[in-house]
């Protein structure tokens, strides 16, 4: 009887150990699945954030190009207007240039 009891205890111990291993394995699987879902969620959020950043960057780039085009057009208009004025009024243009140079020289000499 002692041998049968010992055999039963060994069998019960083996089953208990197997059950514990099975439960531990299930717990690890659940934890891994939860971690995997978390990583997938974080990756999706990062991708969504990157798409938003790209969209904003594209919008800013388009606005910068529009501003640059407007500035270029305004610069051309001013340049053409100054050129036309200089052709129509050469003496006034030379006089303004001389006056501007004299004022700049006067200011620079006083600072030294």
- The model's pLDDT over 18-40, given as tens digits with 9 standing for 90+, comes to 777 888 788 788 877 887 888 88
pLDDT given for residue 71 in this prediction: 95
Radius of gyration of the chain (CA): 42
pLDDT given for residue 110 in this prediction: 77
Rounded mean pLDDT of 98-112? 87
pLDDT given for residue 94 in this prediction: 93
Q: What is the pLDDT of residues 61-89, one digit of tens each?
A: 999 999 999 999 999 999 999 999 999 99
Query: Full-prediction pTM beyond 0.85?
Result: no
């Amino acid at each position: 009887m002692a041998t049968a009891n010992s055999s039963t205890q060994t069998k019960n111990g083996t089953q208990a150990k197997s059950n514990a291993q099975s439960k531990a394995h299930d717990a690890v699987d659940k934890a891994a699945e939860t971690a995997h879902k978390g990583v997938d969620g974080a990756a999706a959020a990062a991708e969504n954030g990157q798409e938003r950043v790209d969209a904003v960057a594209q919008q800013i780039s388009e606005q910068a190009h529009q501003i640059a085009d407007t500035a270029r057009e305004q610069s051309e208009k001013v340049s053409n207007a100054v050129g036309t004025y200089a052709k129509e009024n050469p003496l006034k243009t030379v006089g303004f240039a001389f006056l501007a140079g004299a004022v700049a020289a006067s200011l620079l000499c006083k600072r030294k």
